Structure 1
């Protein structure tokens, strides 16, 4: 009888421990690092810093307003993720898009650019007001992503097309393709699901 009671207690305790454990997503092997601090300017001309992201799950990417190739589908895809999260009533999340053409991308240009996608701007922060050297190094050091100046005779900056999942403590967790890649479709459902998981479970420990 005592053995049966002990076994039952063990099961109950195991369930309690399981229920209290952190079930958040495990970081990709190349990530798990925290974003370095930064101070920039958003599309409304207001200061924005890495510390302003604390407490929310973020999706990040790199774009620029004069982009003629990958940015339009990437930005459309980001807006579709936001639409899905809004439809599902998710609250504590945000999106941050770093301009890779800060010399051209003024706050007003970024504001006009994102208006085309009818996304709530309290959720989507587009940032600029730094030099090219900063964003090149920041993308490489934090996101393992390339940002390179335009080839001679071109206005098109070379940059990565990934989206990045960032937890409530600024830790970079996971990367996704920001557009269709060969036979693989843009992973909108996976991104939405992962954001919800982090919002519900809390930051990765």
Structure 2
């Protein structure tokens, strides 16, 4: 299942409640990670809707010991309050650990995305507020190892792989670190 095999570098950021969240806080859980921003006019709303579908299906199957990490690619705009408000528009089940992360600058998120996930975060084109970023979801095991990526939205090549993501999360939760 491994496509990456590397572990996520250490980091310290802030979640939607203004609390510190670090790489160490990931230990012992399976995570699905993505990169979004709240005023995105294109891919982020369907990505977040798709992530909500994943979470709802995992909950329906009784899967535990997983969480979601959504890193904003627009940290100046996306304060904890803005991130919390954004997620309130989606049907996320009570009790799901979905961390919306900021508390860093643009250079951090650009380097974090590139070094750990081999994905782009680029500044908005002149006259725009739309940050360019990858649309993948990443599966991360209990030890912080990146196992696999998936398209976060339907692409010209394929539909959003809801069943595959849910199955893979379930497998890693049940079988342990890869």
Please state which structure has a larger fraction of its residues in helix.
Answer: 1
Report Cα offsets for 1:84-124 as digits up to 9, x if no partner: 00011101000000000001100000000001112146421
In structure 1, which of residues 14, 27, 34 is the aligned counterpart of residue 2 of structure 2? Answer: 27
Selected match of 1:131 from 88, 93, 105:
105
Residues 131-174 of structure 1, C-alpha deviations (whole Å, 9 max, x = no match): 00000000000000000000000000000000000000000000
Q: Which runs of 5+ in 2 are unaligned?
A: none
Residue 77 of structure 2 aligns with which residue?
104
Structure-2 separation of matches of 1:202 and 1:73:
30
SS in 1 for 2:59: helix
Question: Which structure 1 residue ranges, 4+ long, deviate > 4 Å from structure 2?
Answer: none
Give the SS at the match of 1:85: helix
The correspondence of residues 47-66 of structure 1 with structure 2, limited to 5 A, is 47-66=20-39
* TM-score normalized with structure 2 length: 0.97
Residue 190 of structure 1: aligned partner: 164
Shift of 1:177: 0.3
Matched, 1:203 2:159: no
Aligned length: 177
2:71 is equivalent to residue 113 of structure 1: no
Q: Distance in 2 between matches of 1:123 and 1:192?
A: 16
- Picking from 77, 80, 83, the partner of 2:50 is 77
Tell me how far 1:183 sits from its aligned partner.
4.5
1:157-205: CA deviation from partner (whole Å, max 9, x where unpaired): 000000000000000000000000115110000000000000000001x
**In 2, Cα distance between equivalents of 1:183 and 1:48:** 35
Name the SS of the counterpart of 1:97 in structure 2: strand
Q: Which segments of 5 or more consecutive residues in structure 1 lack a partner in the other structure?
A: 1-25
The 5-angstrom pairing of residues 153-168 of structure 1 reads 153-168=127-142
Say which is worse superposed, 117-126 or 92-101, in terms of deviation: 117-126
SS of equivalent to 1:52: helix
Q: TM-score, normalised by structure 1?
A: 0.85
